[in-house]
Structure 1
Amino acid sequence: MADAVELMFDLPTATAEYVALDTETNGLSGDRCELTEVGAVLVGGGELHEEWDSLVSVSTPLGRYIQRFTGISQEMVDGAQPPEEVLPRLAAMLRGRVLVAHNARFDVRVLRQAFARAALEWPDPPVICTVQMARRFAPLQRKRGLATLAGALGVEVEEVHRALPDARTCAQVFCALFGRLCANAPTIGDAIALLGARKVRKRPPTVPNRPRNERPHLAALPHEPGVYVFRDADGQPLYVGKSVDLRVRARSHFTSGASWTQRAEHVDHTVTESELGALLLEDRLIKALKPPGNVRGKAEPDGYVYIRCRLDIPFPILEVAREPAAGHAVCVGPVRGRAAAAELVEQLNSLFGLRHCGRTLPRREHPSAYGQMGRCLSPCLHDLDPNVYRERLDAALRLFVGRSGGEALLARVDHQIKEAAAAQRYERAAWLARRRVRLEALLSRLGGVLRAIHTGARLVLAPHPSAAGRFDAIWIAGGRVVDWGAVDGSPLVERSRRAYAQAPPPGRLGGSMPAEAVWEARLVGWWIAANNPPTLELGPRISAEQLDRFLARHGYDGASREWPATRAA
């Protein structure tokens, strides 16, 4: 059995099975402590599975205080099973799995004592304590009681001081921190060593704790948004990060167990006015410095996608993708909801007779089902003039080369309904009417403005996370960031006109984006879609008065405050 337990230390953290448990006792100390209830929840893959709990009979009557505290009465334990019948079930559940508990030392001591009294062998599983996980991965949460910690992590607590509800809460807390544990500890042995929950028999700690007085001096970092760069003794970059609070975030790295922290000797920082400014600067520094601690830029929110069409291939198709297309293309978005975006693409394909198949164009002897219903021009038959197909495609794409593609699409369907009714094609008019209802629902779900990202130029104000009237100014043209940073007194009108000059001419179908600009365009796109910041559409005759009114409307007083230095694109 000892060999089997030793082998568990080599199990991958991400795929191991865990048992989150909690015990209730008679409230007495030392040898007089007896188990009154045990609850356990099986956890695998970061999700909760089967549950089990049982009351346990005791030899000593329960005191009044512990009965009020736990809600377990003397009558309940009198009718419960003895430990000799309850504990073998728990041992079988723990075998081959990792025990997880909140303040695990107490629960393990209670269970060891109960197993010894019942003359049963303690299975001695590896132990992970959620209090230790909170200290390592949620260092800013000072109060680590189970209910308090669960609330801080967004876990709803319905009942306390009973074994199964507390075990369930412990399991949910463990799942909330599970991703961070897997990222820093590849095996169970590494996880236990990192958390310091118990001595590892085989593996040394992956990253030893570093004394506080040996860390880089972080007191000079401000409580402001920005970017920081950790460097080693030779000045080589180790890690680039961003935060809306530089000092708090930089300190947290020394509780994460990241290997590069042992070599960090210096830290540089640059303050920005906003989270978006920090995201942009971080992304560009990672590309320029290529620090070993960064795999890529920060992760973006899930669910944002683009509707895009590459125009450099024969018979182009509309498709849904997580990022805009490089090269000559029309990209619409980002919009939230892949399923809704995919359905909108299907609706457009049917309305304009576009291809429903994928990028490869199969050769058919007969039209597809869509072709037979008149909803596809069937280029797969290889007898269609590409110019005819392109006219239909251009008509669909031009709906989004403007400020409100959704309204333009509905207006086009309304026009088609009138045409069908005038020609007495009532079945088609009814079909179009049903399509319009569905399209209106889809556009409502997608939200935002459906427009091609290459269209026009915009000035976006990214606000400071806590201070009113402070912004980063971001100039976007052709879907790319062409200038950004805080203003240093240089005329905004000149920078805005330069940005407008870099946008494609109004009405041009398609823009061109270099491959290296795709990630930044996506980064800025989802931040704007998620935060809906103040935005001003730029024109060829943008004036200083327009810009001043725009800034004043959103809380900036140029006369009372000087903007920080500009950071060029």
Structure 2
Amino acid sequence: MTTTAGERARPGSRWESQRSFDELGRPLSDITFCVVDLETTGGSAQAGSMITEVGAVKVRGGEVLGEFQTLVNPRTDIPAFIAVLTGISNSMVADSPPIESVLPAFLEFAAGCVLVAHNAPFDVGFLRHFAAQQERPWPAFEVVDTAVLARRVITRDDAPNCKLSSLARAFRSTTTPDHRALSDARATVDVLHGLMERVGAQGVSTLEELQTFSSRVSAAQRKKRHLADGLPHAPGVYLFRDDADRVLYVGTSRDVSRRVRSYFTASETRSRMGEMVRLAAQVTAIECATPLEAEVRELRLIAQHKPTYNKRSKFPEKTTFVKLTREPWPRLSLVAKVLDDEADYLGPFSSRAAAEKCLAALHDTFPVRQCSDRFGRRPSRTACVLAEMGRCLSPCDGSVDEHTYAAVVRQLRETLLRRPDDVVDLVNARMAALAADERFEEAGVHRDRLAAFVRAAARTQRLTSLTYCPEVVAVRREDDGRWAVHVVRYGRLAGAGVIPSGTDAHAYVAALRTTAETVPAPSGTPGPTPAATAAETERVLRWLEAPGVRLVDIDGQWTCPVAGASRQLARHGSLDDPAAFVDH
């Protein structure tokens, strides 16, 4: 454990241009911040994950006052994929102090400071958990979350997202984040200073102003509050349009009128939304029976209009699938859509790069041919270099018989559709071996491939389970006491309604089913998304799986494999940073 003072003070402090802060509130230049970062064995202290490293930097007025860094013995094995991500191995922490010794030392170091962290609920949540576990009083720290602040300040022109790595590049941090606690804390210091400079130019000079900062609303924006007049106080979709009737932005809300009015007040913190409001000339709304119907309509309208100010879901047609072909010598290939050809599909993937990672994981596990040639049942060609490397069974030169090759393909199909263990076990073993040899970069490649495969397999299995069903009818009691009804056909929302008070429920449901959208049955074997986009079917699935939902009727079998990929998601499906915030 090390605590140093003053070693990293930087000449030419970034704060020199902000020495004229007024005295209202507590000036930021007088605040001592303790910027902290943790490395852990997993994502949740409540689920049993442990801290493996603590790093912190104490800073005031742009000057570093001291640093704190120590590895922590978690008293449990560090998972291989965590060791790959952080570079912290079991041998490195074997002689390190436990959290019972580290936490008091850190609290002494941070005493009297304002805590700062990037995604503060994670780091502060771990520290508070172990303080409670040790029956140690938690100090009344004030907390600043640089991730939250960045989302209020940073535009897409500044950085593609608000991950620490992206912000560190945007603010030219002198330290590159590398999933080690002290390095990430140092990078967060530079991000904090960069954000403060940005908001300082907008008049923010005190801690109180920083904690409540939001993008300012111009007088021109406030004058447009009348655009919300007449909009319904009900679930629905709203569309901002310019003076040429072009759709600028599509959003959804349980209360359309209230949500639209918020765009003209200080509660709207996204600078791009301020730009959009300045261009808006009118707002139209589509009232919906239920929030789920509103969410689905929003997705469809975004795909239809492709509004400039919507970040997500604009191009649902730009997807990639991994396909296991149906031919004498099947192979895996990347395709843009599901066809009626009785082949097996994995996906959809949001990017071709993710699909390629998944494909690589499958090829590493199953030596099926990788060439795109069409073979007859008795091919007679020259083997390629993959056969010489032992990575292909080489049906092209007769090295394998049909029955042996078919057995490998059956195992591959079982992996895609029902049980991913072969890929998971093989890649885990390979990562562990590479990590043991400290070949972390190579292990990281396999980690990314495994994550791409697990996410895709889980997504495919969940989507297909619903898209196989000709019809699912379900109800749930809403917060206002009324029952919402949804009719889902082949994974597509076909009808939505709310049973009126005093109405015969059975008669209402029967009428809704009669008037619901007709969704043609897919010919052949249904793929992951035959009747709707993956995003729509996933929204429907989330509603169906929510507490309180009751199935009224189901045509078909809505099932997922017991040993399917979903059970691997917690460990292998979210190794990368989480997605950026949702737009609405």
Please give the range of the TM-score, normalised by the shorter of the 2 chains: 0.3 to 0.5
> Which structure would you say has the larger Rg?
1
**TM-score, normalised to structure 2's length?**
0.43
**TM-score, normalised to structure 1's length?**
0.44
